[in-house]
Amino acid sequence: MSPDQFIDWVSLISLALLTLALLLTLARIIIGPTLSDRVLALDLLTLVAMGFIGAIAVRTGLALYLDIAIALALLGFLATIALARYILLRAQSGGDM
Amino acid sequence: MLANLAVYAGGIMLLLGAIFTLIATIGVVRLPDLYTRMHAASKAGAVGGGLILVAVALVEQDSSVSVRALIGIIFLLLTTPLSAHLLARASHLAGYRPDKRTVIDDINKNAEQNSAQK
């Protein structure tokens, strides 16, 4: 098998596995049951999306996608920090669980 | 020849990264409570994302791409444990209890000690 064919097949299989991972993470976001679970699943969702972008970068050979992946990781980190702070503030102000 | 070998290695890394990410999501769906799910998501998720970045660097074989992939991996290794810790701490202080099967709860013990000292 030539390298091009190999990369073609491997990236296709990886994209299929990542699609399954994306759907499972979506299931956890929908069924909850608490706010923290949903925040955690969203954090994992940005990681899975980063993996998607990496697999597409390998498949198409466009390295520019790597910058998008790094920006997405930064965005996911900041969103998780903001939501953790929101959970803490909501508990301190005596909101419902 | 060596370039071909790097491409094959990159393909295998890509596959491994996708498998690790899938394992992380299976853990998030199947584990019993928030803190064990966090363990699956932060560890296996970071390894999966990092392996996929390594795969991009190996397949492209360009120094600028490799440097950016390395920066991405370092960033992931720095931020993933940090965000998991922040979320776990905030959730515990907000009153989300661990599963019944969890036997050690260090934050709770420390909170009792702190209140006893006051």
- What's the pLDDT tens digit per position in A24-74? 999 999 987 888 899 999 999 999 999 999 999 989 988 888 899 899 999
A14-23, B16-25, B78-87, B89-98 — which is least confidently predicted? B89-98
Average pLDDT over residues B72-81: 91
Residue A10: CB atoms within 10 Å: 24
Interchain CB distance below 8 Å, A80 and B83: yes
pLDDT at B111 over 90: no
From B70's Cα to the closest Cα of chain A, the distance in A is: 10
Residues of B in contact with A13 (CB under 8 A): 15, 18
Cα-flanking dihedrals φ and ψ of residue A3, to 5°?
-55, -40
- What pLDDT does residue B5 have? 86
pLDDT at B113 over 60: no
- What pLDDT does residue A91 have? 80
Interchain CB distance below 8 Å, A48 and B25: yes
pTM: predicted TM-score of the whole model, two decimal places = 0.85
- What pLDDT does residue B118 have? 42
Average pLDDT over residues B7-27: 92
Structure tokens at A13: 């299989």
Pure H helices in chain A? 3-31, 35-60, 65-92
Interchain CB distance below 8 Å, A73 and B79: yes
pLDDT tier for residue B62 given thresholds of 50, 70 and 90: confident
Across the interface, which of B48, B68, B90 has its CB nearest the CB of A70?
B68
Distance of CA B9 to the CA centre of its chain: 23
Residues of B in contact with A81 (CB under 8 A): 83, 86
Mean residue pLDDT of chain B comes to: 85
- How wide is the angle at C-alpha B86 spanned by C-alphas B101 and B28, nearest 5°? 50
| Closest-CA residue to A19 (of A47, A48, A44, A53) | A48
